Structure 1
Amino acid sequence: MNVSTALPFQLVYSLFAHEYLGHLFTAHVVQLGPRGQLTLQHQTISAKNAPEFAAGLEKDDYELIALCDQLQQDAVIKEFWPRKITAADFFLKIYNPEKGDKPMQEAVARYVQSRLGRLLAGLQGKHVFIMGRDGEPTWRELKLAPVPASVLFHFRRNDEGTHYFPTIQFQNQRLDFQFKNAVLVCQQPAWLLLDDVLYHFRHDVDGRKLLPFLSKKFIVVPRAVEKSYFQKFVA
């Protein structure tokens, strides 16, 4: 359903989960109602048609929209598979559990994560939502934390080995994130979605080090493998 530029509209960024590529964003323009409310009339906006909606865009939106374009599955496939191939065939070939192309998967992940991280960093002050299952781009509104959180890893050694776990501090308060259905939207750098708020971190935290603790209180590292384990942890 096309949005009229002759009537008020709003640019929004909508978060959704892709089966293989992880969390991605699309950009949409949404028609506003007579009281300024968001309506169900919306359309996707891309770098190609963005100039048509220039009246409702800020300068940095053009770069953010371009990043959204680069994150769409067709753009990803074109980047890594120049020959003609359907999306289904590409993902079945590259992500096959038994015969998948692991180096290609890692390259795709780096491509997606780098662009996703740049996009998230630019969304402060924008209208950000979670996409509904029916494709509705404004299903649930999200907020971005105004300042970065910090992560501290704690290590407790005993006869068994070492127990370690992270705590997250946000605005001088401990953030309760474990067993709360939190989601790592981006892993490198880490962006954590918790209670409809997107949190980023000081020092570009690697989300892979936080991921196990979304559903686990701590990890036990046996004494026999402590040295090798923590060498990998620090790397």
Structure 2
Amino acid sequence: MAPSPQVQDFPLLPEVFREGLTLGLISREEVVLWADRIIAETDEPDYFFIEVSLSHDVNGLIEVLNKYVKPTYNPICDRVLLGLVYHRQPIDDVEEVEKVATMIGFMSSWDRLTSFEDNTIYEFGDYYLFYYPDLKLLQAELRNFLAIYKAFTLENYTQWVDINLQVLQLLKEEEIRVNAVNASFRKACAKKEKKRKLKLYLKKAGVLVLLLAFFILMIALFDDGATKHFTWYFILGYFCVRAGYEWWKRRKKIMKYVRW
């Protein structure tokens, strides 16, 4: 039989096991099966594998992993977990996407990832602010993002370093795409806001023109040419314009609260 392997002979894999068990992405049975295979193939298996095999439940298995496995803080572990979410969570079911988004939001130690990954994961964690109630959009964005990590599996752990390089390239491409979409969205919003302001300005101008027309009509109908009358008409016109402006501001404020 082959010489007995040690925990360090499986870089990152036991750490992924521990985090995956905590998140419910990996079952105790598959970790035990992994340890049992190693035990069967070696003359004197390391006691770590025996303890894993003899664990009675998930909590006991996590305790064994905590005792033997030191955290590496390697971002590859986080990306493997995202790959497992892609393969093992129901992202194709729109009724389950909230659960998936919440799971991603609860994953810890995302500060090891790129700022683009951190920001995207933050938005998924607070999906009700960024996506709700459009769950189909949330589903599409989840699928696009998690698909970046789909090459990661538990079976190809010896290739994780090379896969990670490919994933980094895909992340750069996705960041460029997202930035382009956001820039287009901001441009469209700015254009819409400009039209809104112009429309508001025209409405205000229309109100002032109507008030001025009313003022001129009053002068034409009742003014006998006396300066005193003209002064009173001017004062009346000023207060009419002022009252119209205050009414407009009050109406705008009320409509703002109504929208909320």
Question: TM-score if structure 1 supplies the norm length?
Answer: 0.27
Please identify which structure carries the higher helix content: 2
Q: Which has the higher strand share?
A: 1
Greater radius of gyration (CA) = 2
Normalised to the residue count of structure 2, the TM-score between the two structures is 0.25
